[in-house]
Structure 1
Amino acid sequence: MSDPELEKILREKVRSIKEMSKKVEQEGPLTLTFNNFYDIINSEKPVIIDFWAEWCAPCMTMLPVFEKLAKKYDGKMVFGRLNVDENGEISNRYQVFSIPTFIIFVKGKPVDIVVGAVGERNLEKTITKHVE
């Protein structure tokens, strides 16, 4: 593969990530899967991922909080949700052993973590450390 081909692929990938970020801003938290997880965490904006499961009562308690914060920080941070039962490889990679777990990524790297149903104030306190 030549350098121009690589540059074209890279430009297309960057465009795709920007489009996904816009979609998240318009629609609230994005449903993440193995197919889009790594693209999303490499967003230009900070990203917070809610690692959750359907059977998890504390996860369901935090869902309206997460959705509210997604609206409040729309355009400043990307919000996504990853079902750990359907994406075990990713949750294992990031050592998610308790849920809900919220991991903040900056340029693809985990920079902060919150574990448990901590409530709106505590989750927002962590979010504000990473938004401009």
Structure 2
Amino acid sequence: MSGNTVEVFDDTFADEVLGSDLPVLVDFWAEWCGPCRQVAPILDELANEYDGRVKIAKIDVDANPETAAKFGIVSIPTLYIFKGGELVESINGARPKRELSEKLEAAL
């Protein structure tokens, strides 16, 4: 985790993500996932660039199976953008920074 990236868990997801005043990009990931490791530094950069405007959260699907199941996560990385507690964007697989920035801008 970088300084501006928040780790969330099954028991904190509702408060940290659904209850957030800011849009939240959630990275559903796992330690063993190569593409997840590829996208992690991009998310760290975005967390710094969008600090105060967007929250970047990460949830380990192996350690938090309830949330992964609730949202039907079947492949990782899956990135969801929530705004006002509602899912507004779903991104499957590792994506370039430019594409993720465009999705975040659309959610603002």
TM-score surpassing 0.5? yes
Give the Å deviation of 1:76. Answer: 0.3
Give the Å deviation of 1:85. Answer: 0.4
Give the Å deviation of 1:97. Answer: 0.8
State the partner residue of 1:11. Answer: none
Give the Å deviation of 1:47. Answer: 0.7
2:64 pairs, out of 83, 87, 110, with 87
Instruction: Flag structure 1 segments of 5+ consecutive residues without an equivalent.
Output: 1-26
Structure with more strand by fraction: 2
Give the Å deviation of 1:125. Answer: 1.2
Separation in structure 2 between the aligned mates of residue 114 and residue 68 of structure 1, nearest angstrom: 18
Report how many residues are paired: 105
How high is the TM-score relative to the length of structure 1? 0.77
CA contact (8 A) 2:24 2:83 kept: yes
State the partner residue of 2:20. Answer: 43
Cα deviations by residue, 1:79-115 (Å, 9 ceiling, x for unpaired): 1100000111101111111111110111211111111
State the partner residue of 2:7. Answer: 31
State the partner residue of 2:104. Answer: 127
RMSD between aligned residues: 0.8
State the partner residue of 1:66. Answer: 43
Q: Percent identity?
A: 34
4+ residue segments displaced more than 6 Å: none
Where relative contact order (Cα < 8 A, 6+ residues apart) is larger, the structure is: 2
Separation in structure 2 between the aligned mates of residue 97 and residue 35 of structure 1, nearest angstrom: 20
3-state SS in 1 of match to 2:20: coil
Q: Does 1:75 align with 2:52?
A: yes
Separation in structure 2 between the aligned mates of residue 35 and residue 89 of structure 1, nearest angstrom: 9
CA contact (8 A) 2:23 2:81 kept: yes
